[in-house]
Amino acid sequence: MSTRLSKLGRLIDRTKQVSFSFNGTTMRGFAGDTLASALLANDQMMMGRSFKYHRPRGVVASGAEEPNALVGLGEGSRFEPNQRATTTELFEGLSAKSQNHWPNLDFDIGAVNTAFARFLPAGFYYKMFIHPQPFWKHVYEPFIRKSAGLGKAPDAETRDADTYEHFYAFTDVLIIGGGVAGLQAAKAAALTGVKVLLVEQTAHWGGRAPVDGGTIDEGPVDKFVEQIVSELETMDNVTMRLRCMGAGIYDHGYALAYERLTDHAPQVAGPRHRLWRIRAKQIVTATGAIERPLSFAGNDVPGVMLASAMRDYVVNWGVTPGERVVVATNNDDAYRTAITLKNAGVDVLRILDARASGGGALADEVRALGIRVDPGKAIAKVSGGKRVKKVSICNQEGIGGARDEVSCDAVAMSGGWSPVVHLWSHCGGKLIWDDAQAHFRPDPDRPPLGADGAGFVSVAGAANGALALGETLSDANAAGLAAAKAAGGKAKRPKAPLGESAAELPMEPVWLMPANADTPLRVKSWLDFQNDVKVSDVQLAAREGYESVEHTKRYTTLGMATDQGKLSNINGLAILADALNAEIPQVGTTTFRPPYTPISMGAIGGEARGEVFQPIRRTPLHDWHDRNGADWEPVGHWRRPYAYQLPGESVEAAVNREVKNTRENLGLLDASTLGKLIVKGPDAGRFLDMMYTNMMSTLKPGKCRYGLMCSENGFLIDDGVVARIDEDTWLCHTTTGGAERIHAHMEEWLQTEWWDWKVYVANVTEQYAQVAVVGPNARKVLEKLGGMDVSKEALPFMEWRDGQIGGFDCRAYRISFSGELSYEIAVAASRGQAFWDALTEAGKEFGVMPYGTECLHILRAEKGFIMIGDETDGTVIPQDLGLHWALSKKKEDYLGKRAQQRSHMADPDRWKLVGLETVDGSVLPDGAYAVGEGTNANGQRNMIGRVTSTYYSANLDRGIAMGLVKHGPDRMGEVIEIPGTDGKSYKAKIVDPVFFDKDGEKQNV
């Protein structure tokens, strides 16, 4: 059984008991425990079920690389699936549930898959479930979906109760990893005076060196760590963060770190996670190394654990995973585990060293402790269901004929160490194969390159393949110094501390145990514990031609589990290389992608959620609209009133009332959202002549002109009224949704093509409150307010004046988008509400009412005015809309001019703007198409046009529509057929698009 020892446990505080629950059972641990160590202390070795076969799974590692011990954590709106028990710090009241089983962890129906395992090899689903065709969706797939997945989905009905935040940091040197290497690199860098940010994913500085023993400057490692941490803490140029994982490295020195602020202390207020977005001149990854499992039959039985992890549990948390332990290894390091266990009072029954020559100095120490060492021996298989029962022993060089059996309850395995090269690789750093240590390590000659062509990432310590304590420290010292110099630090040469540890004999790679294991053993030798990928699966993939390491990964799912192959990848590709008769480096690795370990979506989203997901832009009149029955419509980032509902009134009725009132009396529209761009400078006129199809340079100050803007492909992208303010200043109105886009469009041309033109563009949209005063009584209300002369003579149509109305400084434009007598009056944004109030008050006797966007649309459609986004969709040119008059013929060029000369643009078959009236007066469906005879070569019904805008007009008491129709303007009076999706087919007559006041008498009064 696994149990708490009476001594050891450098990270736990035995005076502080913590109670928690696992699958509903209350258990106890100590402050400083991880969930995994606490579960082991409660003899809970089995912590989950595997993905495919639902096999029992025990904890196998002690850190971020853990593939098995995943639990659902928390409840309700704080529930989170797939949390690693090994990186979950214990807290009072923690509630964890194991995953992927039914009805419970001990007895799981899904485990029947194990019995059928031989029928479910890698990629079985590509070969089965093919017939009959409908069965995949309706029978097979639902079953597979149900048995796949790991944790439960979070609750969909409640929102995440926690909050998240983003941090921005700029530093000279970012050091990822706070083990002895990271600490020493940080010190070396910091001494040069550069800014250093040091992040460590666990809650402790020092990494695993304190567990592994040895001395630094002749003292214990713990003491060194304590000293260097306090030294760094006193330096102003050093920032240090625990529980902060380097998650990803991106181009241009960008790095992500993921800080878990309250996962270990949910009672603390504040954000749960913090995502650091870091720009660093240089990045040093001191991310250590991860021990590899050995591939032998039964290596997935709970109780089989990495040798280093077992050592961690004993030393850090005072927990032993078993009472009688067998160690299997191909290197000297695992002997440390045997020594640690033995000294802690745990029986170590046997060390099986696959190397024929056995171990070095550490082996002698082990023997002196009375532990039997068997060189050249291997595990033939581990027996046991939910817990290791015994180990069968064979020769490593053989097919697995068992010679001997040892009954035990835990197995420590070590297949050597792999540097954590993920972060190095994220942004293109390349690897080389180190034959001596049988692992990939960063190739210093091929680092990730910055914009200047020089490397911006380097590696320190074990992550660089420098595994022995002495090498680790000197390597880290050099790396920290080099990074600091590259980041502009002044050269100092801090001496590396002297690390000393027991001498080790070389490891010998063991990719399969025993070397020639026969098929029955290979089908039980796991590579990927979570996804249930075995040695036999990789060999099958190779046999079937899935030879690229990417093919093998995707075919077998090797390394695709939540640990992303941290334990399995190197072992898997060694098996693949062997199957292909190739060298491991020729086979290569799959791509390392961020994040290093999974990070919460909440943290990625940051603060921007709910109300602040995207800012809502508010006009100065927003609150008034809200108080006065506005039915809101999102338009770009704005909200605009669609209509103003009176109490008890439907939206439709409100729209009809507004439409009639504006034509008959007086309507007010909040037009503040319309884009307003100031274009200024000696070349402004020339520039606008290029931007607009019309001639803007000849416009006289005081005058307005309706302008069209096309893309370089000739398509109409925006329209609006342009006013010339003075000799070198124009004010361009854009559509509401177009302001930012058109501003960017102008800037793009100015910055990339006409960078030498003297023009400045400023978006002043929000500086003004603009009110359209519309209707037969428009002039009356303005005259009542008093001030500037707004008569026909003083302020003619398409002109503007600065002045005062009702005591408000304003700019009045005599323009109309409704065909009514109409003024648009701009006042300073801060005066908007007061001005609106004055208009509303003064307008009472003239029947004033506010109107919304739908009324605006209907009024303009009655007049046949086009609306960007309705009549245009990015494929329509001005010529399609009968807007030839707005295309200047005098100008040599404007954006879109040449494009509009292309053959298809001049094609007489293009669909052209017309009005459409249903024969029975009903309203045409929005977006419907008109059909012609027959079908095209692809069997599609031939179409001859489409409805672009369609409304009920209260003024005309009938449906009116605009549309684009093939040869439309030549077919006035013809009736065309427009099928709806409602099963009805509509008959519509082609008419002039101007439905109301064809001669424009109402507007020019």
Partner 1 sequence: MKHYSAFAVAREALRSHTGWERAWRSPEPKKRYDVIIVGAGGHGLATAYYLGKNYGIQNVAIIEKGWLGGGNTGRNTTIIRSNYLQDPSAAIYEKSRSLYEHLSQDLNYNLMFSPRGVIMLAQTHHEVRGYQRTAHANALQGVPTEWIGPQRVKELVPIINLEGPRYPVLGGLWQERGGTARHDAVAWGYARACSAMGMDIIQKCEVTGVRQENGRVTGVDTTKGAIECEKLGIVVAGHSGQLAEMAGFRLPLEAVALQALVSEPIKPCMDVVVMANTVHGYMSQSDKGEMVIGGGTDGFNNYTQRGSFHHIEETVRALVETFPMISRLKMLRQWGGIVDMTGDRSPILSKTPLGNCFINGGWGTGGFKAIPGSGWGMAQLMATGHSPLTEAFSLDRFKEGRFIDESVAAGVAH
- Bridge-based pairing of strands 390-395 and 377-383 is antiparallel
Task: Give residue 638's identity as a one-letter amino acid code.
Answer: W
Min dist CB 245 to partner 1, Å, is 12
Query: Which one among 79, 313, 317, 644 touches partner 1, defined by CB under 8 A?
Result: 79
- Considering only the stretches 73-81, 458-466, 778-786, 955-963, report the one whose residues sit in contact with partner 1 under the rule CB under 8 A: 73-81
Q: Which residues in the 4-23 window bind partner 1 by CB under 8 A?
A: none
- The continuous run of DSSP H or E covering 256 comes out as strand 254-260
Task: Give residue 311's identity as a one-letter amino acid code.
Answer: R
Q: Is 150 helix (H, G, I), strand (E, B) or coil?
A: coil
Q: Which residues in the 80-119 window bind partner 1 by CB under 8 A?
A: 80-82, 118-119
- Considering only the stretches 295-303, 402-410, 485-493, 551-559, report the one whose residues sit in contact with partner 1 under the rule CB under 8 A: 551-559
- C-beta of 234 vs 581, nearer to partner 1: 581
Residue 270 interacts with partner 1 (CB under 8 A): yes or no:
no
Count of residues interacting with partner 1 (CB under 8 A): 115
- Considering only the stretches 74-82, 288-296, 379-387, 693-701, report the one whose residues sit in contact with partner 1 under the rule CB under 8 A: 74-82
Task: Give residue 474's identity as a one-letter amino acid code.
Answer: S
- C-beta of 278 vs 482, nearer to partner 1: 278
Residue 902 interacts with partner 1 (CB under 8 A): yes or no:
yes
Residue 251 interacts with partner 1 (CB under 8 A): yes or no:
yes
- C-beta of 256 vs 484, nearer to partner 1: 256
Residue 928 interacts with partner 1 (CB under 8 A): yes or no:
yes
Q: Tokens for 461? A: 């310590």
| DSSP calls for 898-944 | TGGGSTTTT-TTSEEEEEEEETTSPPPPTT-EEEEEEE-TTSPEEEE
Alpha-carbon gap, residue 930 to 924, rounded angstroms = 11
Q: Which residues in the 169-228 window bind partner 1 by CB under 8 A?
A: none
Alpha-carbon gap, residue 331 to 265, rounded angstroms = 39
User: How would you write 634-672 as a 3-class SS string?
Assistant: EECCEEEEEEECCCCCCHHHHHHHHHHHHHHCEEEEECC
Eight-class DSSP state of 139? I
Q: Is 312 helix (H, G, I), strand (E, B) or coil?
A: helix
Q: Which residues in the 504-533 window bind partner 1 by CB under 8 A?
A: 519, 523
Query: Which one among 926, 970, 977, 992 touches partner 1, defined by CB under 8 A?
Result: 926
For residue 373, which of 361, 389, 388 has the smallest C-alpha distance? 361
Give the largest CA-CA distance in the chain. 113
- C-beta of 212 vs 854, nearer to partner 1: 854
For residue 179, which of 271, 91, 288, 253 has the smallest C-alpha distance? 288
Q: Which residues in the 411-430 window bind partner 1 by CB under 8 A?
A: 426-428
Query: Which one among 9, 110, 151, 480 touches partner 1, defined by CB under 8 A?
Result: 151
- C-beta of 101 vs 663, nearer to partner 1: 101
Query: Which one among 28, 121, 389, 783 touches partner 1, defined by CB under 8 A?
Result: 121
Alpha-carbon gap, residue 947 to 915, rounded angstroms = 9
Residues whose CB falls within 8 Å of the CB of residue 878, separated by 6 or more in sequence, listed in order: 693, 708, 710, 716, 884, 886, 887, 900
- Considering only the stretches 348-356, 371-379, 494-502, 538-546, report the one whose residues sit in contact with partner 1 under the rule CB under 8 A: 538-546
Beta bridge partners of 353: 329, 375
Q: Which residues in the 756-785 window bind partner 1 by CB under 8 A?
A: none
| Dihedral of alpha carbons 972, 975, 979, 983, sign | positive
Min dist CB 1003 to partner 1, Å, is 27
Residue 146 interacts with partner 1 (CB under 8 A): yes or no:
yes
Min dist CB 66 to partner 1, Å, is 13
Residue 129 interacts with partner 1 (CB under 8 A): yes or no:
yes
Residues whose CB falls within 8 Å of the CB of residue 922, separated by 6 or more in sequence, listed in order: 959, 986
- C-beta of 377 vs 553, nearer to partner 1: 553
Task: Give residue 781's identity as a one-letter amino acid code.
Answer: V
Q: Tell me the residue ranges of DSSP E strands in 292-444.
A: 304-306, 319-320, 324-329, 347-353, 373-375, 377-383, 390-395, 404-407, 410-414, 417-419, 431-434, 439-442
Contact 314, 344 (CB under 8 A): yes
Query: Which one among 31, 43, 92, 136 touches partner 1, defined by CB under 8 A?
Result: 136
Residues whose CB falls within 8 Å of the CB of residue 603, separated by 6 or more in sequence, listed in order: 164, 258, 272, 273, 274, 275
Q: What track of x and - describes contact with partner 1 for positions 858 through 877 (by CB under 8 A)?
A: -----------xx--xxx--
Task: Please state, in angstroms and as integers, the Cα–Cα distance from residue 168 to each residue in 235, 240, 280, following that order.
Answer: 21, 15, 11
Min dist CB 712 to partner 1, Å, is 9
CA 570 distance to own-chain centroid: 28
Eight-class DSSP state of 521? H
- C-beta of 874 vs 1000, nearer to partner 1: 874
Query: Which one among 269, 368, 451, 601 touches partner 1, defined by CB under 8 A?
Result: 601
Min dist CB 877 to partner 1, Å, is 9
Q: Is 387 helix (H, G, I), strand (E, B) or coil?
A: coil
Task: Please state, in angstroms and as integers, the Cα–Cα distance from residue 95 to each residue in 22, 27, 86, 92, 104, following that order.
Answer: 6, 10, 15, 9, 16
Q: Which residues in the 557-596 window bind partner 1 by CB under 8 A?
A: 557, 560, 562, 564, 591, 593-595
Alpha-carbon gap, residue 468 to 472, rounded angstroms = 6
- C-beta of 118 vs 700, nearer to partner 1: 118
- C-beta of 101 vs 390, nearer to partner 1: 101
- Considering only the stretches 233-241, 478-486, 655-663, 899-907, report the one whose residues sit in contact with partner 1 under the rule CB under 8 A: 899-907
- C-beta of 136 vs 754, nearer to partner 1: 136
Contact 615, 637 (CB under 8 A): yes
Query: Which one among 204, 324, 551, 958 touches partner 1, defined by CB under 8 A?
Result: 551
Query: Which one among 714, 775, 850, 959 touches partner 1, defined by CB under 8 A?
Result: 714
Q: Which residues in the 31-60 window bind partner 1 by CB under 8 A?
A: 51
- C-beta of 83 vs 656, nearer to partner 1: 83
Min dist CB 976 to partner 1, Å, is 14
Residue 753 interacts with partner 1 (CB under 8 A): yes or no:
no
Residue 882 interacts with partner 1 (CB under 8 A): yes or no:
no
Q: Is 76 helix (H, G, I), strand (E, B) or coil?
A: helix
- C-beta of 648 vs 934, nearer to partner 1: 934
- Considering only the stretches 58-66, 309-317, 610-618, 652-660, report the one whose residues sit in contact with partner 1 under the rule CB under 8 A: 610-618
Min dist CB 587 to partner 1, Å, is 12
Which conformational region is residue 921 in: left (phi greater than 0), alpha (psi within -120 to 50 degrees), or beta?
left
Contact 507, 332 (CB under 8 A): yes
Task: Please state, in angstroms and as integers, the Cα–Cα distance from residue 221 to each residue in 212, 242, 466, 477, 838, following that order.
Answer: 9, 19, 17, 16, 79
- Considering only the stretches 232-240, 261-269, 631-639, 956-964, report the one whose residues sit in contact with partner 1 under the rule CB under 8 A: 631-639
Query: Which one among 515, 604, 798, 991 touches partner 1, defined by CB under 8 A?
Result: 604
Q: Which residues in the 428-447 window bind partner 1 by CB under 8 A?
A: 428
Contact 675, 765 (CB under 8 A): yes
Q: What track of x and - describes contact with partner 1 for positions 821 through 860 (by CB under 8 A)?
A: ----------------------------------------
Min dist CB 855 to partner 1, Å, is 14
- Considering only the stretches 150-158, 229-237, 340-348, 436-444, report the one whose residues sit in contact with partner 1 under the rule CB under 8 A: 150-158
Query: Which one among 389, 609, 660, 967 touches partner 1, defined by CB under 8 A?
Result: 609
Query: Which one among 155, 404, 434, 845 touches partner 1, defined by CB under 8 A?
Result: 155
